[in-house]
């Protein structure tokens, strides 16, 4: 049993290191795209491109929060935190949601404030900067979604949603800039409305990220198929007569499970305890999304 526990801890640390590297790469990409789009926005006087660059600057802060949360979540359990520090990763995701909402509101305000300004239409430099941003965000978003869902990392998935927002925002900005370049007399204000659309998309995504993280903090149960699989694994353990209760709560990248199993009431305490230990080992071995199991043994109904 101790060997299985050590293997689970090792796997969790490997997963956390992978998620940390992805988050660090996201910071570098966001910083580069932010600099590119801010320079392009200022050079071409494009509100949409400048808003996109400022949104990327916020991504640098958000990704830094995600990275810090992951590092803190990797600290081992102690006397004050017997379930570990995994909730810090979920708190980081919540903070990312708040940052997205605040940043989106700021972008919307600045974009609407600029409506009515008269200036030359954006140049091709603005188009180039946006296309590079869309391509880079698509690549990073796919990687973060794939790794985040495999590791069940709320913070990394939140960061991936942030990248998806950036793609939508980039497309909105690209459309607005293209209209302003096509017919400046009629569509020059489209550039500013494009910046507003960027901010609105960011706000909506921030609300979603904050909602998902809040559900985890409220100990929302995992998907039904996982709980069905959990009960099947427990029921397959010899001398387990039934599963009365099964609860699970997420702490970081994995879940802690509470089980109430039923056994023959005539068994000795030692025998019942051995069955509980077998259940715990079997669940951790067959369900990689489970961090640990607390088993409560009860007498089966009917004797």
pLDDT at 231 over 80: yes
Q: Are residues 43 and 131 in the same domain?
A: yes
CATH code for the domain in which residue 7 is found: 1.20.1510.10
Mean pLDDT calculated for residue range 161-190: 78
pLDDT at 243 over 60: yes
pLDDT at 7 over 70: no
Q: Are residues 13 and 119 in the same domain?
A: yes
Alpha carbons within 13 angstroms on the beta-carbon side of residue 197 total 19
Q: Are residues 285 and 153 in the same domain?
A: no
Q: State residue 286's pLDDT score.
A: 92
How far apart, in whole angstroms, are the C-alpha atoms of residue 110 and residue 143?
Answer: 32
CATH code for the domain in which residue 250 is found: 3.30.70.1350
How far apart, in whole angstroms, are the C-alpha atoms of residue 154 and residue 90?
Answer: 6
What is the distance in angstroms between the CA of the first residue and the CA of the last residue of the chain? Answer: 30
pLDDT at 285 over 70: yes
Average pLDDT, the chain: 81
What are the residues whose beta carbons fall under 8 Å from the beta carbon of 225, sequence distance 6 or more? none
Q: State residue 9's pLDDT score.
A: 45
Q: Are residues 163 and 190 in the same domain?
A: yes
Structure tokens at 47: 């509100």
Q: Are residues 96 and 9 in the same domain?
A: yes
Structure tokens at 269: 């305490």
Percent of the chain residues topping a pLDDT of 70: 88
Q: Are residues 59 and 106 in the same domain?
A: yes
Q: Are residues 87 and 178 in the same domain?
A: yes
**Does pTM top 0.85 for this prediction?**
no
Q: Are residues 168 and 246 in the same domain?
A: no
How far apart, in whole angstroms, are the C-alpha atoms of residue 223 and residue 245?
Answer: 16
The domain of 162 spans 2-217
User: Higher pLDDT residue, 72 or 163?
Assistant: 163
Alpha carbons within 13 angstroms on the beta-carbon side of residue 33 total 31
């Amino acid at each position: 049993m101790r060997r299985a526990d050590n293997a689970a801890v090792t796997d969790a640390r490997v997963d956390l290191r992978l998620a940390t590297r992805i988050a660090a790469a996201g910071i570098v990409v966001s910083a580069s795209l932010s600099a590119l789009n801010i320079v392009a926005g200022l050079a071409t006087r494009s509100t949409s491109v400048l808003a996109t660059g400022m949104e990327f600057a916020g991504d640098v802060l958000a990704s830094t929060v995600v990275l810090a949360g992951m590092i803190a979540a990797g600290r081992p359990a102690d006397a004050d935190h017997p379930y570990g520090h995994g909730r810090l990763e979920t708190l980081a995701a919540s903070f990312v949601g708040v940052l997205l909402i605040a940043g989106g509101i700021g972008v919307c305000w600045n974009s609407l404030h600029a409506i009515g300004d008269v200036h030359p239409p954006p140049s091709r430099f603005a188009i180039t900067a946006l296309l590079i941003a869309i391509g880079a965000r698509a690549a990073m978003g796919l990687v973060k979604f794939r790794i985040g869902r495999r590791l069940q990392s709320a913070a990394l998935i939140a960061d991936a949603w942030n990248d998806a927002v950036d793609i939508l925002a980039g497309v909105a900005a690209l459309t607005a800039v293209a209209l302003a370049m096509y017919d400046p007399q009629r569509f020059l204000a489209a550039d500013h409305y494009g910046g507003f659309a960027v901010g609105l998309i960011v706000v909506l995504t921030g609300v979603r990220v904050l909602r998902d993280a809040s559900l985890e903090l409220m100990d929302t149960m995992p998907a039904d198929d996982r709980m069905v699989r959990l009960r099947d694994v427990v029921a397959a353990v010899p001398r387990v007569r039934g599963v009365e209760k099964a609860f699970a709560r997420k702490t970081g990248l994995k879940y802690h499970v509470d089980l109430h199993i039923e056994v023959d009431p005539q068994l000795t305490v030692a025998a019942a305890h051995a069955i509980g230990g077998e259940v715990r080992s079997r669940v951790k071995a067959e369900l990689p999304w489970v961090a640990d199991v607390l088993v409560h043994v009860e007498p089966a109904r009917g004797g």
